[in-house]
Amino acid sequence: MIKLNYENAFVSEEKLLESAHLVKAAAAILHAKKGAGKEYTGWLDLPENYDKDEFLRIKEAAKKIKGHSDALVVIGIGGSYLGAKALFSALKHNFYNEIEKPKIYFAGQNLSPTYLKDLIEVLKDKDFSVNVISKSGTTTESAIAFRIFKSLLEEKYGKEGAKERIFATTDKSKGALKSLADTEGYETFVVPDNVGGRYSVLTAVGLLPLAVCDIDIDKLMEGAYDAAIKYANPNILENPCYQYAIIRNILYRRGKDIEILANYTPKLKYFTEWWKQLFGESEGKDGKGIFPAGVNFTTDLHSMGQMIQDGRRNIFETVLNIEKTNKDIEIESIDEDIDGLNYLANKTLHEINQKAMEGTIMAHVEGGVPNILLSIEELDEYNMGQLVYFFEKACGISGYLLGVNPFNQPGVEKYKSNMFTLLGKPGY
Ligand code: PA5
């Protein structure tokens, strides 16, 4: 269950109720699929209507990959990368690739030759498979990486052998990747037409890589399913998703145009990146939008803390709090207290981290930074499934409150066409 505490957001319950009709109207448009970008709202019903046959095929493909591969290279960028990376990092061991198999590597999310060369070196003596993910099937970064890894697989296993190790997640009927996959006979998975990239983590885009590293994708979908029911409640006082959407909109209207998402565990670093993409690409349009930023505490308290505490007062902070930890360390008392830490004896690191969070919230609120505290019980599949759905829905509603289409990304196309022109791509 996600708990939202807005007592430090400088928004009263009265103010919240005053704006409740706005969020209700936005939610009604979203549910009726009548708003801007309505053709990309399939993610809303995904936890109930997902393709059950494909879900089984995902599990079978994961089993096959685990059976013959030391490593899986997941190729994709943006919405075809961040969801899987976020949940992999949140739910698996911090040092997963050092102790578990198949190792998971991500590629195609940048154009760095050094990154690719280094990865090729790491894979040299390993049996590996590739999951190439691209809805359009034409994205340059992922297409280049796939061309390279496809050749490597064909050199290593021959064309037929490579076929057994390449899994393509793309549009059901169109795009260069779909044509290539059909020509070569790769197993394919579908990015549904009505689900945009950044809303696609609960499709094969996220589910196949996650299943390969033994993340319980049934529990993930169960969490999202329960969230879909809970966050359809029209009573704003009982719906933290609607509260989050309207509070950030109220703060934006007061000039707070930067939202900082803060976490207190390295496991949420990439979840924060996923969230940044979700809100950034959805809201940043027509000269409007809240700039989504992220900080990883307590690490960044020693770099960004000063700016948050004392810089320009155009920010608000949303803190992701994980209430329980499944691993902890107790501080022991020692005879000679030379390091002066005996005052912490018998406390656990989790308790100390929680106090760091509470102290930081107090300081930032005193510094004039509105705070929204979002708590989940623990980092597991069920809770993360809920959190994904919570943010997706809050983002769709926020976009409508702002008056933009939260489901397109016309701005992303601009750099692509400039790059194609500079590179001499036919037609540009
Ligand atoms: O959210 C989005 O739509 C984008 O970030 C895309 O996911 C990203 O540009 C990659 O596109 P594609 O999956 O077509 O390769």
How confident is the model over 210-246, as pLDDT tens digits? 999 999 999 999 999 999 999 999 999 999 999 999 9
- Ligand 1 in reach of 178 Cβ (< 6 A): no
Tokens of 222: 């169960």
Q: Is 256 a catalytic residue?
A: no
Tokens of 10: 């400088």
What's the average model confidence in pLDDT over 79-103? 98
- Of all residues in the chain, what percent carry a pLDDT higher than 90? 96
CA-based torsion, 253, 284, 17, 13: positive or negative: negative
- Ligand 1 in reach of 109 Cβ (< 6 A): no
Ligand 1 mean position to 389 CA, how many Å?
A: 19
Q: Which of 85, 136, 281, 282 to mutate to test the pocket of ligand 1 (most atoms within 8 A of CB)?
A: 136
Give CA–CA dist 418/18, Å, rounded.
46
Annotated active-site residue in 302, 327, 336, 414: 302
Ligand 1 mean position to 406 CA, how many Å?
A: 14
Tokens of 16: 């919240």
Give CA–CA dist 236/246, Å, rounded.
9
pLDDT of residue 416: 85
Mean pLDDT for the chain?
Answer: 97
> Quick one: which H or E segment has residue 123?
helix 113-123
**Chain center to CA of 375:** 17
Closest C-alpha among 279, 373, 274, 287 to residue 323: 373
pLDDT tens digits for 360-379? 999 999 999 999 999 999 99
pLDDT band for position 162 (cuts 50, 70, 90): very high
pLDDT of residue 171: 96
User: What CA–CA distances, in Å, run from 354 to 191, 225, 303, 378?
Assistant: 39, 30, 19, 13
pTM for the model stands at 0.97
Ligand 1 mean position to 77 CA, how many Å?
A: 6
Residue whose token pair is 């198999």: 101
Q: Ligand 1, closest atom to CA 79?
A: 7
Give CA–CA dist 267/338, Å, rounded.
32
- Ligand 1 in reach of 280 Cβ (< 6 A): no
E-strand stretches of 230-353: 258-263, 291-296, 315-322
pLDDT of residue 25: 96
> Quick one: which H or E segment has residue 354?
helix 349-366
Give CA–CA dist 114/134, Å, rounded.
22
Ligand 1 mean position to 144 CA, how many Å?
A: 15
CB environment 139-174: b (16+ within 10 A), e (fewer): bebbbebbebbbebbbeebeeeebebbbbbbbbeee
Q: What is the DSSP string of 367-422?
A: TT--EEEEEES-SSHHHHHHHHHHHHHHHHHHHHHHTS-TT--HHHHHHHHHHHHH
- Ligand 1 in reach of 223 Cβ (< 6 A): no
Q: Ligand 1, closest atom to CA 133?
A: 13
- The 8-class DSSP code of residue 9 comes to T
Ligand 1 mean position to 351 CA, how many Å?
A: 39
Q: Which of 135, 190, 275 to mutate to test the pocket of ligand 1 (most atoms within 8 A of CB)?
A: 135
Q: Which of 43, 77, 414 to mutate to test the pocket of ligand 1 (most atoms within 8 A of CB)?
A: 77
pLDDT of residue 2: 96
Annotated active-site residue in 54, 141, 187, 281: 281
Closest C-alpha among 343, 262, 252, 337 to residue 299: 262
Ligand 1 mean position to 196 CA, how many Å?
A: 8
- The 8-class DSSP code of residue 144 comes to H
Q: Is 302 a catalytic residue?
A: yes
Residue 274 pLDDT exceeds 90: yes
Tokens of 385: 């499934």
Q: Ligand 1, closest atom to CA 199?
A: 1
Q: Ligand 1, closest atom to CA 281?
A: 1
pLDDT band for position 185 (cuts 50, 70, 90): very high
pLDDT tens digits for 72-83? 999 999 999 999
Ligand 1 mean position to 76 CA, how many Å?
A: 8
Instruction: Compute the 3-state secondary structure of the chain and give helix, strand, coil in percent, each to the nearest 5.
Output: 55, 15, 30
Residue 16 near residue 244 (C-beta atoms within 8 A):
no
Of residues 136 and 317, more confidently modeled:
317
Q: Ligand 1, closest atom to CA 205?
A: 13
Q: Ligand 1, closest atom to CA 142?
A: 15
Residue 411 pLDDT exceeds 90: no
Residue 316 pLDDT exceeds 90: yes
